[in-house]
Amino acid sequence: MKLNGATIPDAIAERVLVRRGTAHCFADLHPARTALVVIDMQLAFMDAAVGHAVVPAARDIVPAINRLAAVVRQTGGGVFWVKNTHDDRCLTDWSVMHDMATPAARAKRIAAMTADAPGHALWPTLDVQSEDEIVLKYRFSAFLPGASDLPERLRARGFDTVLITGTVTNVCCESSARDAMMTNFRAVMVSDGNAASSQTEHEASLSAFYSTFGDVMDTAMVIGCLRRA
């Protein structure tokens, strides 16, 4: 299955079609119940001068995210900008992740991800509007219970469908998308609205998610579904 930004192996696409009866189970998007969730599009992942885990491809998906944000707003949905954040609790409550890094890598991450640090800021060309919401998250997944208040904010506004975009595809984006489905949201990963360190990792992540957890569509497909609805 070819999408803008990725190809899902035919064998996976065929299994999904047999099991679900359709290639895109969430193509019936309800605009007023759909939220665009943008994961970690921060300088920490996009600017080598202040970042700690820079993904160059993340800069390339900014136009797609901005297009989606504009259409989601126009059709009655909401836009949520999620910012990966470090605080002192992470050193104890999430010590396993920090213990997996070298002291130098750990210090670099903390310096980049602490609130108000240069790396914590959103990429400057993202089209963030006053009606959008900013969400801080303290784990890879924004939907892991206790990691952020995103699920509560979404439900409070009547959103049951989430369009997952951002970086890194196979880390925070896929983690968020899987947990979104596991907590009863209809989750769509946008193929050309996510970015990883390599195309191989990007496509493997989207394929794994599509095979079991939700839908994968590209920006043009999502916009078409929203406007038709």
Q: What is the pLDDT of residue 166?
A: 98
pLDDT of residue 95: 81
- Kindly list the structural domains of the chain, giving each domain's residue range(s) and its CATH number in brackets, ordered by start: 32-228 (3.40.50.850)
pLDDT in tens, the chain (229 residues): 999 999 999 999 999 999 999 999 999 999 999 999 999 999 999 999 999 999 999 999 999 999 999 999 999 999 999 999 988 787 788 888 778 889 888 888 888 889 999 999 999 999 999 999 999 999 999 999 999 999 999 999 999 999 999 999 999 999 999 999 999 999 999 999 999 999 999 999 999 999 999 999 999 999 999 999 8
User: Residue 100: its pLDDT value, please?
Assistant: 86
- Model pLDDT, residue 96: 85
DSSP per-residue string spanning the chain? -EETTEE--HHHHHHHHHHHSSS-TT-S--GGGEEEEEE--BGGGT-TTT-SS--THHHHTHHHHHHHHHHHHHTT-EEEEEEE-B-THHHHHTHHHHHTS-HHHHHHHHHHHBTTSGGGSBPTTS---TTSEEEEESSS-SSSTTT-SHHHHHHHTT--EEEEEEE-IIIIIHHHHHHHHHTT-EEEEEEEEEE-SSHHHHHHHHHHHHHHT-EEE-HHHHHHHHHH-
**pTM, entire model:** 0.97
The residue behind tokens 């609130």 is 115
pLDDT of the residue at 116: 93
What's the pLDDT at 56? 97
Q: How far apart are the first and last CA of the chain?
A: 24
